[in-house]
A and B are shown apart, each in its own frame.
Chain A
Amino acid sequence: MRIKSLAISAIALVALAVPASAGAVTLIGSGSVAAQPVLSALFSTYTKTVNHKVHFVYTANGGNAGVKDVQNGTSQFAGQARTPLPSDAGTTYIKMFLDGLCIDVNPKNKLSDISIQQTHDIYRGLLTSWSQVPGSGLDTTIDPVGRDTNGGTYNFFLQAVLNNELPSSNVNALTADGLVVNAVKQDPSAIGYDGLAWQGKGQKALKVNGVPCQAKKISVEPLKYPLSRYLFLVLPTGVNNPALTKFIDWARRDPVAGEVISKAGGVPAFNKKAKKH
């Protein structure tokens, strides 16, 4: 008896769900973890305000895995934080928005400006004491913290700062951006790196090569801030997907999408400015 009623209610649920999804489109994506906060904000705003019938499913499994998913057809699009590689054959990269990587120190550190070269030397174990970094006001040993190899921020840092040399063994590799923020906040001699969205939470962002790590300094070409990058959507080449194309156009052009991007910690690259109220 109970099983029967359970079965009936299950069928009823399915029956209810079917008409609701009629005519709806679900777009399946995967990829970059770094792009996820901004992408999910864009997805939910798009479904809520632009087109109720388009739904998104996004699995943050890492940019490389996302591109593989697009190549073998399991995903219709992928988020990606690095530029195209030869192994990405059969895919098209579309620039969506910008992201900046800030170098942060503890507020007790008096340093305000750091060069890419100094950062490189610290993370390669060549500079080990704050006394070797003029302006820090400290003479303690530097505690560099970074991300483990899973992080998109790690890969970006590796390319942009370390010229693809591995960080030295004195760099603590933490599992999440939030843990990097926490480590820098709690240790006066720490230095770390993380995205724009993490700034102002008990850590101090340094100017890099004299340019402050702020959204307004990170703009379309030429990229003034040295540690800024594009985040891409990767699509299969030559596949026409009108629902996805419409979403991409909206996300890249619409002023509302621009606001969503900035709120979620990204920097809009192409969106029209919203009219001043």
Chain B
Amino acid sequence: MEEEYLPEYGPKWSDQRAERLLGALVCAVVGLLLAMIITVFVRAWPSFAHNGLSWFGAGGSVEEELNQIYLSGLSGADFVYTFHGWQLIWSTLLITGGAVLIALFCSLFVSVFIVEFAPEWMRNILQPVVRFLASVPSVIYGLLGVLVIVPFIGNHLVTESQKASVAGVISLSGYSLLAAVLILTVMIAPLMVSIFSDGLRSVRPGWLEGSLALGVNRWRTTWKIAVRTARPAIVAGTVLAVARAIGEAVMLAMVSGSVAFAPNPADGVIFIYEPSRPLAPTIVKNIDSLGSPPANATLFAIAAVLLFSAAFFSLTGWAARRAMRKYGATA
């Protein structure tokens, strides 16, 4: 028996055990991932096939369309697939985009402060705190939002005349774009800060010292040398944050307002108080209709869009980091 496992040259089987087992494990994980992606897209196909590109377009109320889709599946006669996802997509873009922009701006300055300017004792406190904040489960932020932020916006920021101006169309009761963006920002910023500061810390000290020795002041050195060199890390952190923001479901389902409505910037100030519902919470909210085949396909189509955008962002991030490799820092 032993003979079979002894190759003519190279290490014995017993020496290769670990790498073969780990290799098998990796193959299994990759296989599982592929199977998952294929399942999602196959299940989603009927919805895309019936709607074509209009799936992503505007038109009609998503709520009514989802209801029609669900009911058609129960009667079992002719399945209805008509779905226009723009209200959900627009909400996702607004909330994710807003949160990532604000978080990017704040995190950059926070991490520059932590790495370059903060005194030692403060850094020793800030770093573990940031890491801890990055790992807080999102439902906790959701709770804080529902119990504190949403009532505050609804009772103190929104005025009665603003509410009356859109009465019967939407409720400005605090469940809003503002609440969603604020909480999402708080959620993703620590993630960005911790990755940005790792990047800033890995900048070679010689480069900074060289710049300082030439008489360039500290701020300019930080901005022109450290931050520039750390750009791959900044891209990496932003991509991770975008991925987390896009996929966030529970917290947004709690605070965003959960009405399929496309907030309109032309409405003026009340734009930020308008409720909406992004893609991911839509799946959570309609989970009960999975039993109806067309509704099932529609929800899987939403999942496919989310999966695709997550893959797209991680590819873009990878490409951007490759292009920035010449700046010399590692991420």
B85 to chain A, nearest CB (A): 16
Q: Which residues of A contact B291 (CB under 8 A)?
A: 64-65, 68
Determine whether B48 belongs to the interface, using a CB cutoff of 8 Å to chain A: no
Q: Which residues of A contact B258 (CB under 8 A)?
A: 148, 172-175
- Evaluate contact between B173 and A172: CB separation under 8 angstroms: yes
Bound-state CA distance A189–B173 (Å) is: 9
Q: Which residues of B contact A187 (CB under 8 A)?
A: 151, 154-155, 173-174
Q: Which residues of A contact B66 (CB under 8 A)?
A: 149
Interface positions of B from 287 to 305, Cβ below 8 Å from A: 287-289, 291
- Evaluate contact between B174 and A175: CB separation under 8 angstroms: no
A136 to chain B, nearest CB (A): 14
Determine whether A183 belongs to the interface, using a CB cutoff of 8 Å to chain B: yes
- Evaluate contact between B151 and A170: CB separation under 8 angstroms: no
Interface positions of B from 92 to 138, Cβ below 8 Å from A: none
| Chain B interface bracket (under 10, 10 to 19, 20 to 34, 35 or more) | 35 or more
From the candidates A170, A179, A183, A190, name the one contacting B168 in the complex (CB within 8 A): A170
Bound-state CA distance A142–B163 (Å) is: 9
Q: How many A-B residue pairs have CB under 8 A?
A: 99
- Evaluate contact between A169 and B259: CB separation under 8 angstroms: yes
Q: Which residues of A contact B260 (CB under 8 A)?
A: 169
- Evaluate contact between B286 and A141: CB separation under 8 angstroms: no
Q: Which residues of B contact A174 (CB under 8 A)?
A: 254, 258
- Evaluate contact between A129 and B164: CB separation under 8 angstroms: yes
Say whether, besides A175-B258, A182-B147, A170 and B63 are in contact (CB < 8 Å).
no
Nearest neighbor of B167 in chain A, beta-carbon distance = A128
17 contacts between A and B (CB under 8 A): A87-B74, A126-B168, A128-B168, A141-B167, A149-B285, A149-B286, A149-B289, A150-B285, A150-B287, A150-B288, A166-B64, A166-B67, A169-B61, A173-B258, A174-B258, A186-B154, A187-B151
- Chain A residues in contact with chain B, CB under 8 A? 62, 64-65, 68, 87, 125-126, 128-129, 140-145, 148-150, 166, 168-175, 179, 182-183, 186-190
Bound-state CA distance A142–B169 (Å) is: 11
Bound-state CA distance A168–B259 (Å) is: 10
- Evaluate contact between A141 and B171: CB separation under 8 angstroms: yes
Determine whether B187 belongs to the interface, using a CB cutoff of 8 Å to chain A: no
Say whether, besides A183-B173, A187-B151, A166 and B63 are in contact (CB < 8 Å).
yes
From the candidates A129, A171, A175, A188, name the one contacting B171 in the complex (CB within 8 A): A171
Bound-state CA distance A65–B257 (Å) is: 27
Q: Which residues of A contact B261 (CB under 8 A)?
A: 169
- Evaluate contact between A64 and B259: CB separation under 8 angstroms: no
- Evaluate contact between A148 and B175: CB separation under 8 angstroms: no
Bound-state CA distance A68–B73 (Å) is: 14
Nearest neighbor of A125 in chain B, beta-carbon distance = B168
Q: Which residues of A contact B284 (CB under 8 A)?
A: 175
From the candidates B61, B63, B285, name the one contacting A175 in the complex (CB within 8 A): B285
1/0 contact trace for B159-187 toward A, CB 8 Å? 01001101111111111000000000000
From the candidates B150, B160, B170, B285, name the one contacting A173 in the complex (CB within 8 A): B285
From the candidates B154, B155, B167, B254, name the one contacting A170 in the complex (CB within 8 A): B167
- Evaluate contact between B171 and A143: CB separation under 8 angstroms: yes
Q: Which residues of A contact B173 (CB under 8 A)?
A: 143, 145, 172, 183, 187, 189-190
Q: Which residues of A contact B160 (CB under 8 A)?
A: 140-141
- Evaluate contact between A140 and B155: CB separation under 8 angstroms: no
B24 to chain A, nearest CB (A): 20
B283 to chain A, nearest CB (A): 11
Bound-state CA distance A68–B292 (Å) is: 11
From the candidates A128, A142, A171, name the one contacting B259 in the complex (CB within 8 A): A171
From the candidates A169, A188, A189, A190, name the one contacting B170 in the complex (CB within 8 A): A169
- Evaluate contact between A179 and B170: CB separation under 8 angstroms: no
B256 to chain A, nearest CB (A): 10
Interface positions of B from 228 to 284, Cβ below 8 Å from A: 253-254, 257-261, 275, 284
Nearest neighbor of B292 in chain A, beta-carbon distance = A64
Nearest neighbor of A173 in chain B, beta-carbon distance = B258
Determine whether B146 belongs to the interface, using a CB cutoff of 8 Å to chain A: yes
Nearest neighbor of A158 in chain B, beta-carbon distance = B67
- Evaluate contact between B175 and A172: CB separation under 8 angstroms: yes
- Evaluate contact between A64 and B147: CB separation under 8 angstroms: no
With A150-B288, A190-B173 already in contact, 13 other A-B pairs whose C-beta atoms are closer than 8 Å: A125-B169, A141-B163, A141-B167, A143-B154, A166-B63, A166-B64, A168-B168, A169-B259, A171-B171, A172-B257, A175-B253, A175-B258, A186-B154
B277 to chain A, nearest CB (A): 9
Nearest neighbor of B295 in chain A, beta-carbon distance = A149
Q: Which residues of B contact A64 (CB under 8 A)?
A: 288, 291
A119 to chain B, nearest CB (A): 15
Q: Which residues of B contact A173 (CB under 8 A)?
A: 258-259, 285
Bound-state CA distance A188–B160 (Å) is: 12
Q: Which residues of A contact B275 (CB under 8 A)?
A: 172
